[in-house]
Amino acid sequence: MALEMPHFPPLAASAAGVELAARKRQGLDWSAPIHMAVLVLTALLVLSPILVIAYQSLQSGPLYEVDRVLTLSSYTKLLGQPEFHQALWNSLGLAIVSTVVALAIGVASAIAIVRLDLPLRHWIEGAMLGPIYISQLVLALGWYVLYGPSGYISLVCRNWFGGVPWELTTISGMGVLGGIAMAPTVMLFCISSLELSNASLEDAARSAGATPLRVLRSVTLPLLRPAIVYSTLLTFVGGLEMLSIPLVFGWPAGLEFFTTYLLREGMGQTQPDYGLLGAAALLLLLTVALLVLVQQKLLSQRQRFVTVRGKSQRSKPLEIGSWRWMVFALLAVYLAFTVVLPMLALVVRASVVYLTPLVSPLDYLTLDHFKTLFEHEVYARSIWNSLVVSTIGAAVATALTALIAAVIQRSDFKFGKHLEMLALLPRAVPGMVAGIGFLWVVLWVPGLSLLHGTLALLIIAFTMRNLPSAYVALAPSLLQIGREIDQSARVCGASWWRTCQSIVLPIAKPALIACYLLKFISFFKEYASAVFLYSPGTEIIGTTLLNMWAKGDVGPVAALSVVQLILTLLLVALIVRFGKAPVAKGNSNG
């Protein structure tokens, strides 16, 4: 008699049944509504200022006027202005010079630090990357106090040699300063690329008899091409949207740039031409967006540059003998004259009544400038507002970015790619353009006028501006967490939101802390997007520095810069302490 075997359902069907039953016990799954809400919120945050600027540029009057009509007259007027043409050419020249200088310094420094056996390599690397955390406005003020037309070292050179060998109020002079300010970013990308590249390729070239210069030209630089291309477009865009150096060095010399043109048209006129301002802002936005698309096109064939395979080996620094100390000294001198001395000059200027080589600074020591910061309400309020905006804003930006990254990396949301594109889109939106857009949004959309003149509006604009960098910083950490953790939780009945809330995000806590600290610094030094958004009572350090500098209050400006610098250094110390904590992976024990 034949035995009849019992019928068992397939294993997958059983697991699905268990998961379905468990989900029923957990209640409703809010995953899909959360995914869509994150998409809608991100779209509103990113697209609303852009669309409003585009709409305003096509109107004959401000958006709050009823009798306005569609027209292209703003573009005709803009393109017919000689001032705009001059500002455009000046901005292009500044961007080109800044890009060349930043690439030369950044690429050379990265190769020296990673590929040569320099002494104190880690120290010099950290020192060279330090200016990333310092506001470009503070750097520009330090350079002006030291190397400006009436700067301390400039006066010393005039007294000793009868003249100054540099002229920083020209396009080339400002371009050099812009390149120095952006060189650490280029260096960061190149260092990351060099540390990941396969050193055996360079060793093979040396074994074949190639000289170090030939290896550099034929192997190292071609492998750095993705980092160089990315850095080139990034620094060029940075040069176009730069505000600090054109304001500090350019305006006194009567030079107009794209950003200063927007500032003059938006805030320097009794009756601003909103259509003209919108057209200029949109042209700058489209220019930057086009450059970003070119960048993506140039880096589309990434597989050509893959060198790290299963048998790759770590890079071995090239021994250069006694030259190692000369290279180290060169980098140390560069740091001294571009970062250390300018920051010390701000400290000294904040501590004396006058700073001139004709008299000893010790004879004019004073703490009055620092007392002014706390005796005058606008100074103390700007410091407090900056801390509030940075503390709350960094938390908001980190939370929103964590949600966006979780939806993109840890779910099967069908619009995940679109959400990622939205999250990265603000990198093509200059800070001043974002500020103009959000100002018009709150003034035009009914009900949003309550946000006008509040710190909440600054937090929203800063969050939009920092969304791409926060996502790039956080997304890799979520990718490192194994997908089996999500699958196990889902089988046990946990929803996507419960899994992220209870498992994924707690595992990524070190990365979240590092992201928060980085965004705190970014919010703390942000000022370009706040120029059109702040009002009396909502000043931040950057806008107060600009206003006081325009009035000639150099002493209080230096003191406020020192306060911002000290607070920034404290935050950098926290990043060094908490930012390198390991992120647990999916196969971690426990």
Q: What is the mean pLDDT of residues 260-281?
A: 79
Q: What is the mean pLDDT of residues 526-548?
A: 89
Strand partners, 59: 70
Q: What is the CA radius of gyration of the chain?
A: 27
Tokens 């000022």 belong to residue: 527
Q: Do domains 36-69+367-585 and 72-306+323-359 have the same CATH topology?
A: yes
Q: What is the mean pLDDT of residues 422-451?
A: 87
Nearest one of 148, 137, 140 to 356, comparing CA atoms: 148
- CA distances for 563 relative to 136, 164, 284, 374, angstroms: 15, 31, 33, 12
d(CA 301, CA 291): 17
d(CA 234, CA 429): 12
d(CA 550, CA 190): 37
114: tokens are: 């990673």
50 in Cβ contact with 429 (< 8 Å): yes
Q: What is the mean pLDDT of residues 432-459?
A: 89
> What ranges do the domains of the chain cover?
36-69+367-585, 72-306+323-359
Nearest one of 70, 43, 75, 48 to 59, comparing CA atoms: 70
- CA distances for 273 relative to 50, 259, 444, 531, angstroms: 18, 16, 16, 17
Q: What is the mean pLDDT of residues 81-85?
A: 87
- CA distances for 143 relative to 135, 168, 545, angstroms: 13, 9, 15
pLDDT at 115 over 50: yes
- CA distances for 235 relative to 72, 91, 99, 338, 503, angstroms: 32, 13, 5, 18, 39
- The pLDDT of residue 589 is 42
Q: What is the mean pLDDT of residues 417-429?
A: 85
- The pLDDT of residue 428 is 79
Torsion of CA 97, 99, 101, 105, to 10 degrees: 180
pLDDT at 416 over 90: no
| pTM passes above 0.85 | no
554: tokens are: 């150099």
d(CA 472, CA 337): 32
Q: Give the tens place of pLDDT for each residue, 205-249.
A: 666 666 666 666 666 777 777 778 888 888 888 888 888 899 999
Does the domain at 72-306+323-359 match CATH 2.60.40.10? Answer given as no
d(CA 157, CA 85): 36
- The pLDDT of residue 511 is 82
- The pLDDT of residue 305 is 44
Please state, for a pLDDT cut of 70, what percent of the chain lies above it: 82
pLDDT at 14 over 70: no
pLDDT category at 94 given cuts 50, 70, 90 is very high
pLDDT category at 8 given cuts 50, 70, 90 is very low
Nearest one of 255, 252, 257, 249 to 144, comparing CA atoms: 249
**Given this structure, which CATH class describes domain 36-69+367-585?**
mainly alpha
Residue 67 in 3-state DSSP?
A: coil
- The pLDDT of residue 205 is 65
523: tokens are: 């919010």
Q: Give the tens place of pLDDT for each residue, 467-492.
A: 988 888 887 777 767 666 666 766 67
Nearest one of 229, 194, 211 to 110, comparing CA atoms: 194
401: tokens are: 């970015």
47 in Cβ contact with 428 (< 8 Å): no
Segment among 178-192, 295-309, 507-521 with least mean pLDDT: 295-309
Q: What is the mean pLDDT of residues 157-184?
A: 90
325: tokens are: 């100390």
- The pLDDT of residue 227 is 79
DSSP state of 428: G
pLDDT at 337 over 70: yes
Q: What is the mean pLDDT of residues 23-41?
A: 74
Q: What is the mean pLDDT of residues 256-270?
A: 80
248: tokens are: 């500090």
Q: What are the b/e assignments for 27-64, b being 16+ CB within 10 Å? A: eeeebeebbeebbeebeebbebbbebbbebbbbeebbe
